[in-house]
Amino acid sequence: MYMNFWYPMATSEELSDKPLKVRCVGLDFVVFRGEDGAARCLSNTCIHRGGSLGHGKIRGDRIQCPYHGWQFDGEGACQKIPSLGPDARIPVRARVDAYPVQERWGLIFAFLGDLPEAERPPILDVAEYGQEGWRQTMQHYDLKGNYQRSVENGLDPAHNEFVHDTHGFQGENEAYQVNEMRVEERDQWGRGFWHTFNSPKLPEGEMRKLRDYEGELEAGTGHHGPNQLWTYIHVTPENWFHQYAYERPVDADNIHIYLITMRNCALDVKRDDLIIERNDYVAHQDITIIEELRPVVTPTTNTKELMTPSDKVIVMYREKLDEWDAKGWQIDFEMLVRDSKKVAYAIPSPARREQKSWVLDSVPLVPAGVSKTGIEAVG
Ligand code: FES
Ligand SMILES: [Fe+2]
């Protein structure tokens, strides 16, 4: 798991007048919306004596700890320590980590890391959102599994034939093979591929109006950072579905996935339910597979699985992870779990680059250059 990327913490709808405690990369955060309407994300552990801010109250634009009422603003700075009385001077060290937040497409993203703004990887863009001729739906899923396994499932062209009867023939087509994969190098944050495959008619009913013949279909998919995926399915040359998945690794074996589906066909709002139903159907087929994969996390070396050419973008994804390992962004999850009862860690926020003294320890990181996948680290 990595710091210095954007993670989806909640939907906009979920942020009411109460704070939300959200777990990501094995740590807890509080997400809340102040009176000014802006969403905020802070480390959940109160630096007084460890209260859970997510169980506190929103007071104006601040979050108030449930234990002794200390109030922290959106920058994480403590503004009030009630036990000291109304005119108390608040020490500079009375501060929790606060993370940059962006609210886009109905989702609240937090940048969990300390990079200055200019160096932060972008969030995978939903370019079609709000464009004429496109409509969106959004849904989200809990699953038991490791998020890297889930991203790799998205990058795998060979599972469609067997896992999804909506896309493939369940092994009934003797002539089946994975066709040429045309690699797309988008930017330094991710790669993907396009390919053509044979697909059946869509199931009977409303869906079949979108595609009522058996034949070739174009699809592309790729990753962005460790936890974001784009999947473009052109069910006919005119009818396109562009999906964006934002994964929140809750911990090593739990994920929460937010899925935005953009479509340029069946634009009537009444068709939303149909799209959601179909996405649920396909997602649960994937979830059934991912939850049973062993080992739960991707192996620490590629020699412990037997890769074929259709796995090449998965190998590329693991190479990217190694690049981020080489930057020293990988959280030492084993140490985090080992220490979890005795140390409350925090992901370092950008303010730690300016202010040196913090109450909580910064999360342990795997030293830069130590590869966990067995591919030599570069960068
Ligand atoms: S633990 Fe939060 S105010 Fe005391
Ligand atoms: Fe799938």
Which residue CA neighbors atom 4 of ligand 1 most closely?
68
Interval 205-216: pLDDT, tens:
877 887 888 888
- Percent of the residues in the chain that have a pLDDT greater than 70, as a whole number: 97
Is residue 221 predicted with pLDDT exceeding 50? yes
Q: Is the pLDDT of residue 171 over 80?
A: no
Q: Which helix (H) or strand (E) holds 148?
A: helix 147-154
Q: How many residues are present in the chain?
A: 379
What pLDDT score does 198 carry?
84
Protein residue with its CA nearest to atom 3 in ligand 1: 68
The whole-number average pLDDT for the span 139-145 is 96
- Ligand 1 close to Cβ of residue 359 (< 6 A): no
Residue 148: per-residue pLDDT: 97
Predicted pLDDT at 377: 37
pLDDT at 328: 95
What single-letter amino acid sits at 213? Y
Q: Separation of 35 CA from ligand 2 center, angstroms?
A: 41
* pLDDT greater than 90 at residue 20: yes
pLDDT attached to residue 77 = 98
Helix H or strand E segment including 162: helix 160-163
Q: What is the pLDDT of residues 234-262, one digit of tens each?
A: 989 999 999 999 999 999 999 999 999 99
Considering only residues 220 and 172, tell me which one the structure prediction assigns the higher pLDDT: 220
**233 vs 261: CA distance, rounded Å:** 10
pLDDT greater than 80 at residue 375: no
Query: Which H or E run includes 240?
Result: strand 240-251
Rounded Cα–Cα distance for residues 378 and 96 (Å): 34
pLDDT at 34: 94
What pLDDT was estimated at residue 372? 52
Per-residue confidence (pLDDT) for residue 336, from 0 to 100: 96
Output the pLDDT for position 85.
95
Q: Looking at residues 116-128, what average pLDDT do you find?
A: 98
- The closest-lying atom of ligand 1 relative to the alpha carbon of residue 53 is 2
Is the Cβ–Cβ distance between 166 and 219 less than 8 Å?
Answer: no
Ligand 2 centre and the CA of 244: distance in Å? 13
So what's the pLDDT on residue 197?
Answer: 85
Average pLDDT over residues 171-186: 87
Closest to 34 measured CA to CA, from 74, 64, 79: 74
C-beta 84 within 6 A of ligand 1: no
Say yes or no to pLDDT of 355 above 90: yes
26 Cβ below 6 A of ligand 1: no
Average pLDDT over residues 275-284: 94
Report the separation in Å between the CA atom of 12 and the middle of ligand 1, taken as the mean of its atom positions: 28
Residues 25-54 have a mean pLDDT of 97
Tell me the CA–centroid distance for residue 207 and ligand 1, in Å. Answer: 54
Inform me whether the pLDDT recorded for 81 exceeds 70. yes
What pLDDT, on the 0 to 100 scale, is given for residue 371?
56
* Averaged pLDDT score across all residues of the chain: 93
Condensed to tens digits (0 to 9), the pLDDT of residues 290-341 reads: 999 999 998 878 889 999 999 999 999 999 999 999 999 999 999 999 999 9
Angle CA 233–238–243, to nearest 5: 25
Q: What is the pLDDT of residue 376?
A: 40
Cα gap 192→185, rounded to integer Å: 7
Ligand 1 atom closest to the CA of 65, numbered from 1: 2
Cα distance between residue 167 and residue 50, in whole Å: 50
Q: What is the mean pLDDT of residues 111-124?
A: 98
